[in-house]
């Protein structure tokens, strides 16, 4: 028996109450993707779009878009399906110049594509032109978006036909997922492979 301090009368002890239900909010699930290509900062960012409508940057890397005299179109596009004799995605592709190949190609506007840095031989070994790879982060292409293998492979494997692709001129020095790491190739192998 418990007694109050002021009187000698019994006080009934009460047990603490516990709830049998928990009020935790279910976690949002990944539903789709969106790709942003910022021409000003020469970066591409892949966003995950979740069931609660939120967007989270999953990966961001330096890329190379059109050099002077060439054009990477701005606007809202999508990863395109097969049309006009072109496949939607190609594991390795011969470039339109006929002189080079690239890995993990995804079309987003006619002949404009996202792909790895070009190399001279058709293979899947991650070979790149060391000189061209080290230009990532500055304009260097004929209009496509050149990417390190780790980014274009992620897009190729995860982002289906119809995934939105937004190409725009951003604010200088603004990196939505933090400034990406700058990789340097010391041989003709993509260091992000």
Mean pLDDT estimate for the chain: 87
71-105 residues labelled b (16+ CB within 10 A) or e (exposed) = ebeeeebbbbeeeeeeeebbebbebeeeebbbbbb
The answer to whether 142 touches 69, Cβ cutoff 8 Å, is no
Q: How confident is the model at residue 25 (pLDDT cuts 50, 70, 90)?
A: low
Name the pTM for this structure. Answer: 0.83
Q: What is the pLDDT of residues 144-153, one digit of tens each?
A: 999 999 999 9
Percent of the chain with pLDDT strictly greater than 70:
85
Q: What is the pLDDT of residues 153-172, one digit of tens each?
A: 999 999 999 999 999 999 99
The answer to whether 132 touches 2, Cβ cutoff 8 Å, is no
């Amino acid at each position: 028996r418990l007694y109050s301090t002021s009187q000698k009368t019994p006080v009934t002890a009460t047990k603490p109450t516990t709830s049998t239900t928990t009020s935790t909010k279910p976690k949002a699930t990944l539903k789709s993707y969106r790709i942003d290509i910022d021409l000003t900062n020469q970066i591409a960012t892949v966003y995950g779009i979740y069931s609660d409508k939120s967007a989270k940057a999953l990966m961001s890397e330096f890329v190379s878009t059109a050099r002077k005299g060439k054009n990477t179109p701005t606007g809202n596009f999508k990863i395109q399906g097969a049309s006009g004799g072109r496949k939607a995605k190609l594991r390795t592709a011969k470039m339109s110049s006929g002189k080079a190949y690239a890995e993990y190609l995804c079309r987003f506007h006619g002949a404009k594509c996202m792909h790895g840095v070009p190399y001279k031989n058709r293979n899947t070994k991650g070979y790149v032109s060391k000189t061209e790879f080290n230009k990532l982060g500055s304009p260097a292409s004929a209009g496509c978006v050149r990417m390190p293998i780790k980014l274009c492979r992620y897009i190729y494997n995860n982002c289906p036909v119809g995934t939105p692709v937004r190409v725009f001129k951003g604010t200088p020095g603004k990196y939505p997922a933090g400034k990406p790491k700058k990789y340097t190739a010391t041989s003709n192998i993509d260091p992000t492979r």
